[in-house]
A and B are shown apart, each in its own frame.
Chain A
Amino acid sequence: MTIRGTLGRAAAPVILPPDAPTPGLDRTPGLDRAPPGRSPLRREGPAKLTGTALYTDDLVFPGAWYGHTIRSTEARARLLGVELDPAFDWSRVVVVTAADIPGPNIVNLIQDDQPILAFGEIRHHAEPVALVAAPDRALLREAAAHVTLRTEPLVPVLDPLASGQVFAHYELSTGDVAAGFAEASLVIEGEYRVGHQEQLYIENNAMIAVPRDDGGVTVHGSLQCPYYVHKALRRSLLLTDAQAQVIQAETGGGFGGKEEYPSILALHAALLARACERPVRMIYDRHEDLAATTKRHPAIVTYRSGVSADGRLVAQDIEIVMDAGAYCTLSPVVLSRGTLHSGGPYACPNVRIRSRAVATNTPPNGAFRGFGAPQTEFAAEMQVNRIAEALAVSPLELRRRWLYRPGDTTPTGQVLRESVAAEEVLDRAAEAAEFERVRARTAAARTEPGHVTGHSTHRIGHGIGLALAWHGAGFTGSGEVHLASVASVELTADGRIVILTGSTEMGQGTKTIFPQLAAEALGVPIEAVDFAPQDTALVPDSGPTVASRTAMVVGGLVIGACRRLRAVVEERSGGPFAGTYPADARAHGPTRIDEHFEPYPGVEFDDTTYRGDAYPAFGWASAIAEVDVDLDTGEVAVRSVVAADDVGRVIHPVLAEGQVEGGTLQAVGYATIEEVKLHDGRYLNDRLATYLIPTALDAPRIETILVEAPFSGAPHGAKGIGELPMDVAAPAVVAAIHDATGVWIHDLPASPERILAAMSAKTAGKTAGDASAGDKAGPR
């Protein structure tokens, strides 16, 4: 079944294919039963809309002090000491350094390498070294100005290719790559470089720590993963489970940027709160957030593809280097996902992939929507588009030949048994965008004199480009088994139905879709289902809210818990749950069901050999972009993107379309303008004046096509949606730029500077032989 919608127009009608079964998807917002497939109002929507939602900075704690972080101003240095100016009255403030941390000075994550506060050696610019708290901001600023870091500079490592420190590396191969290239009649090679990208959630990182009477601490913050923060607090502050309490405030976006960083910030706020014995507020401004918090990993992908004389993809040899920054953070798993997706959604018998994540003296990189896959899939799609050009075949046709179909085997040996929708998303997008017709038109326009459209003096190149992607659903490999997530539902003594999960709402819809799933499983109206706040004192650990796993994995657990609750109550009452649960609650008191994750049947992966089912299922996405390129200035206007995304099952059509539109726009920014330049290991684009993302005027018209190829392992068939659109739009935009200009841009962003330089280089190359080519109307 397919549903479609378009951003920037009145709500489009539901369009169903001719063979569609009974319409189950209804875009009508409603407060009635609102089962999955309908779009009820989002739970937290009215409060956000009316300004009454309480984000961290809106929370009031009488007597709270303000916290500040003293950061390094060097990329690498020996830290000799933190000096407090004796002329300043330090009795009015508190200062915390590494020496004041009761437990291990480690931010709990994959490796024990990142200190909460630097000691011994500073390893990146903006690294936290000391903390100050004061009763008011003026005094805080004054105190901070009297703290000096005494350092001795060390030579930083800034080039990832020159780094000798490897946080993680993988090598996986299938078939015989040498034999594959021997068979190839066409070999295409490329090196692709993609840079940092900032998540740019609307709300900056923010945390408030409140000392508890039991010697522990409660933190309120903007975060994705309450139990990550909980574990970090327990470990480094030596607290019991009950002494550490983490409460998510309303959270203004995350995109991965609030996966690991809130643990550091919570520890900072908690250390200061312990020191001054008062609540401490640490609310980053945008500059600090941009300068100090995690970004998408830059990557260098070197790619060789071999194609046989009869047009088969016979070999892929891929090398990936990701720049982790100064500490490990989540780099091994980011790299793992990037590695596993780097071949693209194409069957190839001979594949070798070698990858490493290395240390540099730059701020640590971390989770960001797509988690390694957008970097490597950009390279994969560039290769396919360049091969299509070399073979003079349509990039659509080439993909139809090569894409994964049910029964195909991936480089890890995973047989794609079900839920394989690569062909469907490709065909749906191509049909909606009229890809071949538009491509023929742009090709014809290129042969016209002066490469001109419209007014004769306006040199605008028009182009269309295509990309296809896959995205593994849920955690990689045996990750979900290790997480052992729990989701619960409780029928309370007073007859309320409450969902208890650690899964957070950060704008993506958790608070709305879980009640939808529960209401359907229980046969009750959605209003009858409550959603417990994300407070570690109340809800179980449902795993982190990351990896597009919430709808699929935790949503599945919610359904499982509800089905069991329904069975228990119906067994006792002898009647349908909907009619009998209030009386059941009165008679029997509270009933709580804890649903534990069980491995998906038949899914096995060996983390040491990297063989097996890397993911229980994959989502599939295709994007087709149309661009206008100003041939005088290299400026790109992305006019439209048609995005077809297979998410398994659509729970809330409006929110699902929102995810596709947002992810597509974030990818358009990645493709065209979002850039971090560095100087001596410091980000130069550390303000919104210099780190630019698309505005509404830069946004293309986005047409979303939601495809449903359900995953049988989840009770509702959902596979996740958040990251999928991020993987695919950037290579589509760069392909469209090529269609418009004739030049391939290998590095992201495809900035006007890069486009113009490539066009000039091409013209210079051409004019040697053909003085009249290409640039007729331009200055010479």
Chain B
Amino acid sequence: MIEPPLVSPTGLDEAYRLLAEAVHRPVAGGTDVLVQLAGELGPPPERLIDLWGLDELRGISLDGDALTLGALTTYTEIRRSAVCRDLVPALVEASATIGAAQIQNRGTLGGNVANASPAGDMLPVLLATDAVIVVGSVRGEREVPAPSFWTGYRQTALQPDEIVVRIRIPLIADRQVRFRKIGTRRAQAISKVVLALSWVAESPGVQWRMVRLGLGSVAERPIRATATEAVLDGRLPTSDTADTASVRVAAEIEPINDVRSTADYRRAVTARVLHRLIREAGGW
């Protein structure tokens, strides 16, 4: 393993200063970066900045009408969080599908966001919940809505001196969020398709509004399927709705063949799982 120079700031301001002086690859839990340090998957980072000691970036809090998760919140912390379980259970579900216990103990939500893998399992949930990514630097903080954060294959809206500070999820009354991951096996697998669907409806017989469909592993970045959302918006979860939406989503995505699956499978399964989620919501 290659061991680039590493700095370990003890406060956020120090971290910002170091980042302003030179480009550093941030390390939180290290579950992505350590793999990159083997140097076999492309050039390893030249310099590392260890964020693990920055307690300012930890914690899950209820913040008015939003749930705020520090960038260093681990998957284990999310799984154990009563607030998450009560308010956005899809976060807990998604966290439970990531890696093994060791990975969940070290891997962080901020890391999942910044690593920007198209297969990042938390990211469709953030897309479906209108999450806001708060980023910071010596220049202060700014907010990036999740749909604008991932800009291309492993590309983000972060400037070289910026890091993810926290993730804010607005809490919306009567919002339902459903999560589903399809992997090669039942645990410790990278997704073939990962999907989060949300909608707002005051009661089961009411038309859906504010529909969001976040998708992973079907494009070069995590995406919202906005055309499919438009089909679902203002509709009831009926058989016709499910049929129309699943045809729409199959046409809307451009998945690829790779080592994990095929484009055909990803397209078909995205459509079928969406169909199933609508079916389950409609209870038919």
Residues of A within 8 A of B (CB): 141, 287, 456-459, 632-635, 637, 673, 677, 684-685, 689-690, 692, 694-695, 697-698, 752-753, 756-757, 760, 777-780
Whether the Cβ atoms of A632 and B188 lie closer than 8 Å is no
Smallest distance from the beta carbon of B274 to chain A beta carbons, Å? Answer: 8
Smallest distance from the beta carbon of B148 to chain A beta carbons, Å? Answer: 29
Whether the Cβ atoms of A695 and B188 lie closer than 8 Å is yes
Q: With A and B bound together, what is the CA distance between A287 and B186 in angstroms?
A: 23
Whether the Cβ atoms of B276 and A692 lie closer than 8 Å is no
Whether the Cβ atoms of B275 and A778 lie closer than 8 Å is yes
Q: With A and B bound together, what is the CA distance between A692 and B191 in angstroms?
A: 12
| Chain A proximity mask over B271-284: 1 for CB below 8 Å, otherwise 0 | 11101100110011
Q: With A and B bound together, what is the CA distance between A757 and B40 in angstroms?
A: 34
Contacts of B139 in A (CB 8 A): none
Whether the Cβ atoms of B185 and A632 lie closer than 8 Å is no
Please name 26 pairs of A and B residues whose Cβ atoms are closer than 8 Å in the assembled complex, sorted by A. Answer: A141-B2, A287-B38, A287-B40, A457-B276, A457-B283, A459-B276, A632-B273, A633-B182, A633-B269, A635-B182, A673-B184, A677-B259, A689-B190, A690-B260, A692-B184, A692-B185, A695-B186, A695-B187, A695-B188, A697-B185, A698-B185, A756-B269, A757-B265, A778-B275, A779-B243, A779-B272
Q: With A and B bound together, what is the CA distance between A457 and B283 in angstroms?
A: 7
Whether the Cβ atoms of B185 and A778 lie closer than 8 Å is no
| Chain A proximity mask over B237-267: 1 for CB below 8 Å, otherwise 0 | 0000011001100000000000111101100
Contacts of A684 in B (CB 8 A): 259
Smallest distance from the beta carbon of B96 to chain A beta carbons, Å? Answer: 12
Whether A632 touches B186, Cβ cut-off 8 Å, given contacts A457-B280, A779-B247, is no
Smallest distance from the beta carbon of A420 to chain B beta carbons, Å? Answer: 38
Q: With A and B bound together, what is the CA distance between A635 and B268 in angstroms?
A: 13
Q: With A and B bound together, what is the CA distance between A287 and B1 in angstroms?
A: 13
| Most chain A CB inside 10 Å of its own CB: which residue of B187, B261, B271, B276 | B276
Contacts of B246 in A (CB 8 A): 779
Q: Which 7 A-B pairs have the closest CB atoms?
A: A779-B246, A632-B272, A697-B186, A753-B265, A779-B275, A684-B259, A457-B279
Contacts of B188 in A (CB 8 A): 695
Contacts of A677 in B (CB 8 A): 259
Whether the Cβ atoms of B276 and A756 lie closer than 8 Å is no
Q: With A and B bound together, what is the CA distance between A692 and B247 in angstroms?
A: 31
Contacts of A753 in B (CB 8 A): 261-262, 264-265
Output the nearest chain A residue to B260 by Cβ-Cβ distance. Answer: A690
Output the nearest chain B residue to A287 by Cβ-Cβ distance. Answer: B40
Contacts of A637 in B (CB 8 A): 186
Smallest distance from the beta carbon of B72 to chain A beta carbons, Å? Answer: 24
| Most chain A CB inside 10 Å of its own CB: which residue of B187, B268, B279 | B268
Q: With A and B bound together, what is the CA distance between A695 and B2 in angstroms?
A: 30
Q: With A and B bound together, what is the CA distance between A756 and B266 in angstroms?
A: 11
Whether the Cβ atoms of B268 and A760 lie closer than 8 Å is yes
Contacts of A689 in B (CB 8 A): 190
Q: With A and B bound together, what is the CA distance between A778 and B184 in angstroms?
A: 22
Output the nearest chain B residue to A779 by Cβ-Cβ distance. Answer: B246
Whether the Cβ atoms of A695 and B185 lie closer than 8 Å is yes
Output the nearest chain A residue to B2 by Cβ-Cβ distance. Answer: A141
Using a Cβ–Cβ cut-off of 8 Å, how many residues does chain B contribute to the interface with A? 32
Q: With A and B bound together, what is the CA distance between A690 and B283 in angstroms?
A: 37
Contacts of B66 in A (CB 8 A): none
| Most chain A CB inside 10 Å of its own CB: which residue of B2, B40, B279 | B279
Contacts of A141 in B (CB 8 A): 2
Whether A632 touches B187, Cβ cut-off 8 Å, given contacts A457-B280, A757-B264, A780-B243, is no
Smallest distance from the beta carbon of A287 to chain B beta carbons, Å? Answer: 7
Contacts of A695 in B (CB 8 A): 185-188
- Interface residue? B20 (CB, 8 A): no
Q: With A and B bound together, what is the CA distance between A235 and B96 in angstroms?
A: 54
Smallest distance from the beta carbon of B34 to chain A beta carbons, Å? Answer: 13
Q: With A and B bound together, what is the CA distance between A673 and B261 in angstroms?
A: 11
Contacts of A458 in B (CB 8 A): 276
Contacts of A459 in B (CB 8 A): 276
Smallest distance from the beta carbon of A41 to chain B beta carbons, Å? Answer: 29
Whether the Cβ atoms of A756 and B265 lie closer than 8 Å is yes
- Interface residue? B189 (CB, 8 A): yes
Contacts of B271 in A (CB 8 A): 779
Whether the Cβ atoms of A752 and B265 lie closer than 8 Å is yes
Q: With A and B bound together, what is the CA distance between A340 and B259 in angstroms?
A: 34
Output the nearest chain A residue to B35 by Cβ-Cβ distance. Answer: A689
Smallest distance from the beta carbon of A375 to chain B beta carbons, Å? Answer: 22
Whether the Cβ atoms of A697 and B268 lie closer than 8 Å is no
| Chain A proximity mask over B94-127: 1 for CB below 8 Å, otherwise 0 | 0000000000000000000000000000000000
Contacts of A634 in B (CB 8 A): 265, 269
Known: A632-B269, A698-B185; 8 extra A-B contacts, CB below 8 A, are: A457-B280, A458-B276, A632-B275, A634-B269, A673-B184, A694-B185, A778-B272, A778-B275
Whether the Cβ atoms of B283 and A756 lie closer than 8 Å is no
Q: With A and B bound together, what is the CA distance between A752 and B183 in angstroms?
A: 10
Query: Which single member of B260, B264, B273 contacts A633 (CB below 8 Å)?
Result: B273
Q: With A and B bound together, what is the CA distance between A320 and B207 in angstroms?
A: 60
Contacts of A779 in B (CB 8 A): 242-243, 246-247, 271-272, 275
Contacts of A673 in B (CB 8 A): 184-185
Q: With A and B bound together, what is the CA distance between A666 and B272 in angstroms?
A: 30
Output the nearest chain A residue to B274 by Cβ-Cβ distance. Answer: A779
Smallest distance from the beta carbon of A451 to chain B beta carbons, Å? Answer: 14
Contacts of B190 in A (CB 8 A): 689
Contacts of A698 in B (CB 8 A): 185-187
Q: With A and B bound together, what is the CA distance between A201 and B260 in angstroms?
A: 22
